[in-house]
Structure 1
Amino acid sequence: MAGTRPTPADQAREAVVEAALARLDLDTKARLLAGQDMWSLPELPAIGLRSLVMSDGPIGVRGVRWTADDPSIALPSPTALAATWDPALARRAGRLLAQEARRKGVHVLLAPTVNLHRSPLGGRHFEAYSEDPYLTGRIGTGYVTGVQEGGVGTTVKHFVANDAETDRFTVNNTVSPRALRELYLAPFEAIVENAHPWGIMTAYNSVNGSTMSEHRYLVEEVLRGEWGFDGYNVSDWMAARSTVGAIEGGLDVAMPGPVTVYGDKLAAAVRAGETTEAKVDAAVRNVLRLAARVGILEGAEPVVTDLPETVDGESLAREIARRAFVLVRNEGGALPIPAGHSVALIGAAARDARVLGGGSATVFPAHVVSPLDGLTAALPEGTLTYAVGADPSQELAAADKGFELRAICRDSEGEILGTRSAPSGHIQWMGNDLPDGVTHDRLDSVELTGTFTPRESGPHTFGIKGLGAFTLTIDGTEHFDGVQSTDLDDPFVTFFGDPVERATVDLTAGRAYAVSLRHTVDVPDDVPMRVISFTLAHQEPARDPDELIAEAVEAARAADTAIVVVATTERVESEGFDRADLRLPGRQDELVHAVAAANPHTVVVVNSGSPVELPWREEVAAVLLGWFPGQEGGAALADVLTGAHEPGGRLPTTWGPLDSAPVTRVTPTDGELPYTEDVFIGYRAWERENRTPTYPFGHGLGYTDWTYDEIDVTGTTVTVRVTNTGTRTGRETIQLYLAPTDPTPDRPTRWLAGFATVEAAPGESVHTTVDLPSRAFEVWDDQTNTWTPVKGTYEIEASHSLTDTRLRATCVF
């Protein structure tokens, strides 16, 4: 693939880049390629270069501070965005995130994640889009286009085959060239071709023997050479391991800093003849080009000078959520809820919603609309009751509701250096993000202190997440004074590890109690990142589970409709580990069985980022998959349940039980994880194994009906006419699958080759035209290392889902 032809503006920027590069000496160039702290590169005033700032995404822009003090819009999870099957909506999401980035002084968003759902056990799948490379590429293209239209760079990640979390720093994934090309590289290639991203992030893992931060073939020959990528390539945080290996492998920037493999080490390697200054220049050129594009290199006009119109973040978050909800079952028209029905809302997640996944994707919204909030606002007064039913969370979480805390920083003499508010019990200060007046060299301790007013009486459990020395005091009594350590060899255990229970205290609802957690700071000077991270954790009194379920059953029996919200937790779906199973935690399955037995009009809302097993699905009237729905999720849920809006989502990933899933291995053996399934993942594997999932790829119901009237094929252009035969306006996602009429065992039975979303009023017919990409008719030839067209006759299926084909036609390629 050739790069796009440079415009005059591109050429002008390139001239400024070259002039700036020529003015830099080796040491300065080497320093520019190393993070100066957790999130930024150093400024170089001599050439008019401001500091370039990066921030995690992908559902919001956290900025350089990991704190609820600096709130961000929180959109629904990437799996939700992919469930809309709408690249234009993804583009609007990108524009909003660019707006958020500019507000926070961020130049580059570390997103989107376009790894694939290879196995349903992948713990970070909520942060990626789909099991299908074509759908992933289309949604990712929309997202990248939108962000960069807002003048902010993107960093498409994690390049490549970073499809599981187990041993992610050290695993060597062995993948055939064909599977790499047809599956795992395909979304990156599509985004590079169609959206021209300004950045790529290389993954922690190795592929076929080489760590991705040193993978010369995939970075230099494929990404830059074949595809013409001209952006910057940044390591995942702490992924760069070797100075010479990284620069020779094509890595431009090693993050974070200041301790990294670049900087002084890179300059020394050049002087020792271990690499060349030309290699350094190539990397610096890519960084300066990025700086020019985002407008922080003096003399270079940024790519975007006229910003898009302002986006209402709350409104867009709500729209994406309702467009993403996938209605997979709706017996007897249980949804929308009939007007006048009384409703029993059940589930801990209905009150304390989980709106986003755990790990580096975490942002802190200014507010969250829970399902209880949303339905309370939407339903007539007196028609809604609530019961906990079953709490999926069986572990401590960061101190939140009822806590009023602040952080006090002291030196070794006990003198207060500075303070900062702490909206939750989680402290995470990276680099120089410290309270005013505080410096690392003087900081000796941080005390998280304030009050806790319980909302329930009984035994409250307190714990600590973090490493080092801690003192925990509740209501004047010291409950722990000691050191927490770990045997895990994971630099992020402080972020993703489990809290340790340290105290159980009987408290009375409504009374304010003094709480304090003091941490003695001991951060070595030579660590790659200077981070102060710890959490005061808490869990409310545990009521008798049988009693809770019994209360829920009575509430359900007394209502016309029962709505049960079930959910995963941060210990089930998060960055840092893979899933052990696909079951809902706690006694939630038992709760649904019991409620469904008491009320035939039971609706279950599934609050998870990726597939879970649904053993009760045939017992309930309706099942609505809500993903992690973002900060406005409860309002969007009310829109859909009441019928104000139609649920618009279609499954971007197959849902099925773990014991039937064709690809489940995510744990390496002796450091190796072979992708033995080759090109057969997701629905390709389900069909090859002749297994029936719970709900197939592309499945989803709405509130109206559609007929597929006509299909016309001219060459590789497909036109489909559909009619809304229902009673209300709706939206249909027309999916086009390509199936060779003479199948061979080395190719899938069929695969997604195109799609389009249409909207129509009752009785209205609409046409849509889709050009099938030539790549849909090609395979990667491992012998010739080229894409090879597979000539022959293909059946084109116009479908409502993978297994619900409505029209067929043939084409000859």
Structure 2
Amino acid sequence: MIDSILDRMTLEEQVSLLSGADFWTTVPVERLGVPKIKVTDGPNGARGAGSLVAGVKATCFPVAIALGASWNPDLVKQMGVALARQAKSKGAAVLLAPTVNIHRSGLNGRNFECYSEDPMLTSGLAVAYIEGVQGEGIAATIKHFAGNESEIERQTMSSDIDERTLREIYLPPFEQAVRRAGVMAVMSSYNRLNGTYTSEHHWLLTKVLREEWGFDGIVMSDWFGSHSTAETINAGLDLEMPGPARDRGDKLVAAVREGKVDAATVRASARRMLLLLERVGAFKSKPDLTERAIDLPEDRALIRRLGAEGAVLLKNDGILPLAKTSLDRIAVIGPNAATARVMGGGSAQIAAHYTVSPLEGIRAALSNANSISHAVGCRHNRLIDVFKGKITVEYFKGRGCNGDPLHVDTVDKGEFFWFELPSDELDPADFSARMVMQYAPEESGEHVFGMTNAGLARLFVDGRLMVDGHEGWTRGANYFGTANDEQRGAATLDAGRSYELTVEYEPSMASEEGINLIAVRFGVEKPLGEADIAAAVETARNADVALLFVGRDGEWDTEGLDLPDMRLPGLQEELIEKVAAANANTVIVLQTGGPIEMPWLGNVRAVLQMWYPGQELGNAVADVLFGDAGPGGRLPQTFPKALTDNSAITGDPAVYPGKDGHVHYAEGVFVGYRHHDISAVEPLFPFGFGLGYTSFRWGEPRLSVREMGPDGISVSLEVTNTGDRPGSELVQLYVRSPKAKVARPDKELRAFAKLLLQPGETGTAVMKILPRDLAYFDIEAGSFRAEPGGYQLLLAANAADIRSVIDLPLPAGYMQPPSTA
């Protein structure tokens, strides 16, 4: 059928398939019955075509690092199934996920959106995720291919990575997604790889992806991430997104006529697009692009379970789990206590059905809610609190908010990110909007107003200009680098009085990098200070236990910018020190998208890392704190004692964050625990670390054969729960290699098994490795090579806790070209 359609297509029609129709859909060819399909973000929820911050509600699942911490492919596959169902509810046939870039620096703004520092763990979870999604008839899109481990100058930066490091660290998750999961789509990254944009990288997209790995799906650009016509399609980029066409369309037709692009190349890309439509069932029934909100009890239960499975208990002197009946007074403190920080920022954002804050979850878990006291203590927000309340929005043709409004809306939040305007009569390049709202402060005193805008905007308070985001506008870090840095203004306000706030907005379509967005965010807050910390300290002093919820949120852990450091932002460290001094029973609950430094660690009794676990956050937190569920997580990323202990933080800007448009991955394959091993730098918490509420006894490991052969080898190990609570144990299998002609890590993760056991129950961890798991990539030979000799298998609870060492001979040398399965 596909070839028949292609034979009847004109060149122009074939070309039309190779660009989006708009932000989220492909171009139909109605004459030949070729429908359009919709794509949707993202990794932790299916948003649909709505705004990043509004639109049809969607189910919010845990972010990728929380899934990485679960080390549970079976649960991740279940989440993939649920996400496919959510994608269908948004009329989408393609899910733009998963993200499998590697945790390199610890400062990447999208660290939360990626699984792990280890390519094997990342690969296993990505394969499970893709199998879950695609098993339900929805295409998964693995991203970002490749070398996108930082958000700094990401549209232009060249990630300079040698081939061995690429093959061993950064490419395996993509390779396994193709070979094992049959992923249907790959998204090229914004950055350049060794000087060439990945969207124009023939070696990457054709030689490696298609010819070596056998990929037969489509390659799409990241949004506005393609920059040329002939170069991209000749390299292997099929779909330019978003639409309408910028470098394809008439330009591509002309390139074929002029001989710069072979007509067969266009046909091959068009064929892959039609094959995608066939695979997602678009030819069998016309896709229904209607968007609906479905909030299912089974999804709620899965999210809650995943939250506990990914929760990592980093420290516990016996205070956890808390006994519900023996605590008369519980202090719930911190900037993340009463606010549900359920997701990171950027394109992964969705409008969740609901969110449960830790304070709400704890209150729901306890029969005596009166025993709970609450204090904020301090803020950690990077941007001023967004305005929440009734806002009347008037839309006008042209700039300046002149004449009668064409359309009027009422919304409840001061953030607008328009993919589509509310009327087809409004031109995204030539419209304006006026937002009017009332603000009545609860307390008198100085208040700070803030606004950031992709476009031009002004904020007025009772008619007086308070924040000018118009005159002198310059590009900053917000909204993927298309908006200015937040502009602020302060005023003294009186409690009980109502003030009229007005924001006037108009787009500015000028862009240095081709990314054109229209967005504005504004808010107001009364700053907190030492008096608020003092109030939190008193709250803690009068409690039996102080639960302190700290960390970051989606303003810090976000697409578009990297973190400035690895410390808790704001006054949180001061809050921790003072609360811990006032209450000896202080428990820290962290929410971050990656590692942080912990100078206060010795002053608290327990530390629980919850990441951003989705809409059931508060319930999952309560489950773990009170022992209704055990903390099932293990670290997917090393937590260093200090930022400078990270392999990428050398003091040389060429290594990180980059210099003169290049970032040099000088550490090579020694990323994460590999770096800590080889440099003997002790981490704060090692890769794979995590505590639980029970104890386990490990038996002696057994091998299926005595030496490595072509069919591989299985390792089995009995594990018994010797405690009085159910719990999960993780067995990690590392390979240690003999000396080779290249420097190799001390050990490398090659398999793992997670067991959930009841008290007294014994289970068997079974792990299989293949000859390639002993290999490194030999650049000269262009192959994976394992030299003959004595290897070792290390059975470990984490990267620093080796329980058994097994000698494994490899009698004959092994070499595998990357083009073989």
* Larger deviation, residues 438-447 vs 102-111: 438-447
- The 2-side partners of 1:162 and 1:484 are apart by 34
Q: Aligned-pair distance for 1:416?
A: 2.1
Q: Is 1:723–2:720 an aligned residue pair?
A: yes
Q: Find out whether 1:318 has 2:304 as its counterpart.
A: yes
Match of 2:646 among 649, 661, 664: 661
Measure, in 2, the Cα distance between the counterparts of 1:561 and 1:764. Answer: 33
In the alignment, which residue of structure 1 is the partner of 2:694? Answer: 704
| Alignment pair present for 1:797 and 2:794 | yes
Instruction: Report the equivalent of 2:570.
Output: 586
Q: Does 1:266 align with 2:263?
A: no
Aligned partner of 1:332 in structure 2 is 318
Q: Once the 2 structures are TM-superposed, how far is the Cα of residue 310 of structure 1 from its aligned partner?
A: 7.3
Counterpart of 2:537 in structure 1 is 553
- Matches of 1:527 and 1:674, distance apart in 2: 23
> Could you tell me how far apart the structure 2 residues matched to 1:91 and 1:781 are?
34
Partner of 1:462: 449
Q: Which moved more, 1:635-644 or 1:331-340?
A: 331-340
The amino acid across from 2:588 in the alignment is: V
Structure 2 Cα separation of the partners of residues 374 and 301 of structure 1: 39
Distance in 1 (alpha carbons) for counterparts of 2:429 and 2:170: 48
CA distance in 1, matches of 2:742, 2:546: 47
Separation in 2, partners of 1:21, 1:507: 69
Provide the secondary structure at the position in 1 that maps to 2:337.
helix
Partner-residue secondary structure (3-state), 2:406: strand
Q: CA deviation at 1:363?
A: 1.0
Match of 1:445 in 2: 432
Question: Where do residues 81-92 of structure 1 align in structure 2 (5 Å cutoff)?
Answer: 81-92=67-78
| Counterpart contact for 1:717–1:771, Cα < 8 Å | yes
Q: Distance in 2 between matches of 1:210 and 1:613?
A: 36
**3-state SS in 2 of match to 1:465:** strand
Tell me, yes or no, if structure 1 residue 393 matches structure 2 residue 381: yes
- Within 1, Cα distance between the matches of 2:755 and 2:482? 43
- 1:38 equivalent to 2:23? Answer yes
Matches for 1:404-415 after TM superposition, within 5 Å: 404-412=390-398, 413-415=402-404
Distance 2:417 2:182 in 1: 34
Amino acid corresponding to residue 785 of structure 2 in structure 1? T
CA contact (8 A) 1:240 1:246 kept: yes
Contact map agreement 1:70 1:364 (CA 8 A) in 2 = yes
Q: How many residue pairs are counted as aligned between the two chains?
A: 786
Q: CA deviation at 1:495?
A: 5.4
> Match of 2:552?
568
Return the match for 2:178 from 192, 202, 218. Answer: 192
Q: Which residue of 2 aligns with 1:288?
A: 274
The farther-off stretch of 734-743 and 25-34 is: 734-743
Secondary structure of 1:423's partner? strand
RMSD over equivalenced CA pairs, Å: 2.5
Q: C-alpha separation between the residues in 1 aligned to 2:104 and 2:634?
A: 19
Q: 1:738 to 1:86 in 2, by over 3 A?
A: same
Q: Which amino acid aligns with 1:686?
A: H
> Any idea what SS the aligned residue of 1:195 has?
coil
Equivalent AA in structure 2 for residue 558 of structure 1: N
2:660 pairs with 1:670: yes
2:139 to 153, 166, 177: 153
Query: How far apart are the structure 2 equivalents of 1:442 and 1:159?
Result: 31
Does the Cα contact within 8 Å between 1:345 and 1:385 map onto a contact in 2? yes
Determine whether 1:766 maps to 2:748: no
Mapping for residues 218-617 of structure 1, pairs under 5 Å: 218-297=204-283, 312-337=298-323, 339-341=325-327, 342-379=329-366, 380-393=368-381, 395-400=383-388, 403-412=389-398, 413-430=402-419, 433-436=420-423, 438-440=425-427, 444-475=431-462, 477-479=464-466, 483-488=470-475, 497-508=484-495, 513-523=499-509, 531-535=517-521, 537-544=522-529, 546-617=530-601
Deviation at 1:388, TM superposition (A): 1.1
Distance 2:471 2:451 in 1: 9
More divergent stretch after superposition (442-451 vs 614-623): 442-451
Shift of 1:81: 0.6
Q: Secondary structure in 2 aligned to 1:123?
A: coil
- CA offsets 1:352-378 (integer angstroms, 9 cap, x no match): 232211111111112111111111111
Larger deviation, residues 664-673 vs 88-97: 664-673
1:22 is the counterpart of 2:10: no
Q: Secondary structure at the match of 2:413?
A: coil
- Is 1:59–2:59 an aligned residue pair? no
- What is the rounded CA distance, in whole Å, between the counterparts of 1:117 and 1:795 in structure 2? 26
Unaligned runs of at least 5 residues, structure 2: 289-294, 650-654, 706-712, 811-821
Q: Is 452-461 or 57-66 further displaced after alignment?
A: 452-461
Q: Per the alignment, in what secondary structure is the counterpart of residue 648 of structure 1?
A: coil
Q: Deviations over 1:229-250 (max 9, x none)?
A: 1110001111111101101100
Q: Deviation per CA, 1:65-84, whole angstroms, max 9, x where unpaired? A: 11423211111111001100
Q: Distance in 1 between matches of 2:77 and 2:175?
A: 18
| Inter-partner Cα distance in structure 2 for 1:248 and 1:502 | 51
> In structure 1, how many angstroms separate the alpha carbons of the residues matched to 2:245 and 2:477?
18
> How much does 1:662 deviate?
2.4
Relative distance call for 1:469 and 1:332 in structure 2 (3 A) is closer
Q: Displacement of 1:772 after TM fit?
A: 1.4
Matched to 2:636, the amino acid is P
Q: What TM-score, normalized by structure 2, do the two folds share?
A: 0.91
Alpha-carbon distance between aligned partners in 2 of 1:250 and 1:39, rounded to the nearest angstrom: 21
Q: Deviations over 1:724-760 (max 9, x none)?
A: 0111111111111112355777111011111111121
Describe the shift of the 1:775–1:397 C-alpha distance in structure 2 as closer, same or farther (beyond 3 A): farther
Q: Structure 2 vs 1, CA of residues 775 and 571 (structure 1 numbering), >3 Å: closer, same or farther?
A: same
**1:496-552 Cα distance to aligned partner (Å, 9 max, x none):** 65321145351425x6543321213454799966643112x22321132x2222222
1:306-346 per-residue CA deviation (whole Å, 9 max, x = no partner) reads: xxx97722222211111111001001343334632121111
- Find the aligned partners of 1:538 and 1:647 in 2 and give their Cα distance: 37
Matched, 1:778 2:775: yes
Between stretches 740-749 and 313-322, larger displacement belongs to: 740-749
Inter-partner Cα distance in structure 1 for 2:472 and 2:32: 46
Q: Deviations over 1:146-180 (max 9, x none)?
A: 11112111110000111111111111222111111
**Secondary structure of the corresponding residue to residue 759 of structure 1:** strand
Instruction: Name the SS for the 2:676 alignment partner.
Output: helix
Contact 1:68 1:365 (C-alpha < 8 Å) held by counterparts: no
Distance in 1 (alpha carbons) for counterparts of 2:576 and 2:741 = 44
Shift of 1:185: 0.5
Partner SS state of residue 644, structure 2: helix
Whether 2:670 is the aligned partner of 1:684: answer no
Cα-to-partner distance string for 1:380-405 (whole Å, 9 max, x where unaligned) = 222111111221125314323xx112
Q: Which amino acid aligns with 1:596?
A: A
Q: Does 1:629 align with 2:613?
A: yes
Alignment partner, residue 140 of structure 1: 126
Deviates more, 1:491-500 or 1:190-199: 491-500
CA distance in 2, matches of 1:527, 1:44: 30
Q: What secondary structure is seen at the aligned counterpart in 2 of 1:316?
A: helix
**Between 630-639 and 390-399, the greater mean CA deviation after superposition:** 390-399
Compared CA separation, residues 354 and 504, structure 1 to 2 (3 A): farther
Distance 1:381 1:594, change over 3 A: same
User: How far apart, CA to CA, are the structure 1 residues paired with 2:596 and 2:483?
Assistant: 22
Task: Measure, in 2, the Cα distance between the counterparts of 1:499 and 1:438.
Answer: 31
Q: Measure how far apart 1:208 and its partner are.
A: 1.8
Q: Partners in 2 of 1:105 and 1:369 — Cα distance?
A: 27
CA 256–166 in structure 1, closer or farther in 2 if over 3 Å, else same: same
Provide the rounded CA distance (Å) in 1 between the counterparts of 2:724 and 2:65.
30
